[in-house]
Amino acid sequence: MRETMASWLPAGRSIGARRSGMIAALALLLTPITGLNAGAAADLELGRHLSAECVSCHGAARAGGAIPDIFGHEPMTFVEVMKAYRDKRLPNEAMQTVASRLNDEDLAALALYFATAKKTN
Ligand code: HEC
């Protein structure tokens, strides 16, 4: 088994080095998609859960309409805007009320979710 696997390896490289290199490359490839980090996966799940309320309004966003599209925003900016609504530095009663119920962890999870999720309608 060892000999057959080694036969396609470039000369001078051990199976161990080759395999760990492949695993590292695979992890790099999958990280942005699945979030191999368990914390990020949990955040994404929380964000998806909380997003249901947001999508009830923002899902209907149309170019030039009163409701802005909130998909694909840069997460840091997204969090700052949400905090501004929460602190009532930005005026919009609906958004102020929505944001007042969310803590920093919720906002980070929502930012992550909306930065990566695809709009479904
Ligand atoms: C009742 C409808 C409604 C709900 C529910 C709602 N929003 Fe909004 N949101 C709005 C409207 C309307 C605006 C535009 C406000 C303005 O023009 O000042 C807005 C603006 C925003 C903006 C600023 C976007 C930009 O480009 O300026 C963000 C970010 C945002 N909402 C996120 C959320 C999130 C996250 C949720 C769920 C937790 C949510 N909204 C729930 C109606 C809603």
DSSP assignment of the chain, as one string?
Answer: -HHHHHHTSPTT--HHHHHHHHHHHHHHHHHHHH-SSHHHHHHHHHHHHHHHHHHHHHTT--TTSSS---TT--HHHHHHHHHHHHTTSS--HHHHHHHHT--HHHHHHHHHHHHHPPP--
Q: What is the pTM of this model?
A: 0.76
- Residue 63, pLDDT score: 82
- Residue 50, pLDDT score: 97
- Residue 41, pLDDT score: 81
Choose which CATH entry (1.10.20.10, 3.90.79.10, 1.10.760.10, 3.40.50.300) describes domain 37-121.
1.10.760.10
Is 67 touching ligand 1 by the criterion CB < 6 Å? yes
**Cα atoms in the Cβ-side hemisphere of radius 13 Å centred on 113:** 19
Where in the chain is CATH 1.10.760.10? 37-121
Q: Tell me the pLDDT tens digit for each residue of 88-101.
A: 999 999 999 999 99
Is 113 touching ligand 1 by the criterion CB < 6 Å? no
Mean pLDDT of 93-113: 97
